[in-house]
């Protein structure tokens, strides 16, 4: 049996919700990311940190999920989506789409969590 291409861990912290996705966020797995993020935003929790250190692929479908979630969270100043420990190859996808200026990036998960 092969390892799943995508999985996601969620930790509800005091300050925010931390998500640690693993593997490939492509067009077929992005809906799983969306579902996970929506489970907290629907409950009114909009301070989200995504640790992307274990993600090896990110497509535009994943970017769409991040943009719509961040948009939802920033409405009425309820929160934001912070990105932590983003590998260089993934960072390039944000650069190529001009999204690098629209998200806050942190070198470590602790810094991102502490920023809320």
Instruction: Based on the shown chain and the rule CB under 8 A, indicate whether residue 98 belongs to the binding site for another protein.
Output: yes
Q: What angle do CA 100, 106, 61 make, to 5 degrees?
A: 45
Q: Kindly state the number of chain residues that form the binding site for another protein, as judged by CB under 8 A.
A: 24
Whole-number Å distance between alpha carbons of 115 and 45: 16
CA-based diameter of the chain, in Å?
46
Instruction: Based on the shown chain and the rule CB under 8 A, indicate whether residue 74 belongs to the binding site for another protein.
Output: yes
Instruction: Based on the shown chain and the rule CB under 8 A, indicate whether residue 64 belongs to the binding site for another protein.
Output: yes
Interacting residue ranges for another protein, rule: CB under 8 A = 5, 24, 26-29, 57, 59-61, 63-64, 67-68, 70-71, 74, 89, 93, 96-99, 102
């Amino acid at each position: 049996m092969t390892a799943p291409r995508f999985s996601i861990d969620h930790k509800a912290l005091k300050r925010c919700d931390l998500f640690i996705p693993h593997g490939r966020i492509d067009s077929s797995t992005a809906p799983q990311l969306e579902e996970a993020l929506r489970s907290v935003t629907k409950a009114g929790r909009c301070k989200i940190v995504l640790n992307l250190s274990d993600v090896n692929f990110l497509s535009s479908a994943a970017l769409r999920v991040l943009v719509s979630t961040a948009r939802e969270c920033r409405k009425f100043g309820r929160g934001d989506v912070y990105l932590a420990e983003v590998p260089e190859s993934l960072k390039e996808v944000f650069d190529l789409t001009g999204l690098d200026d629209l998200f806050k990036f942190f070198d470590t998960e602790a810094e991102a969590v502490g920023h809320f």
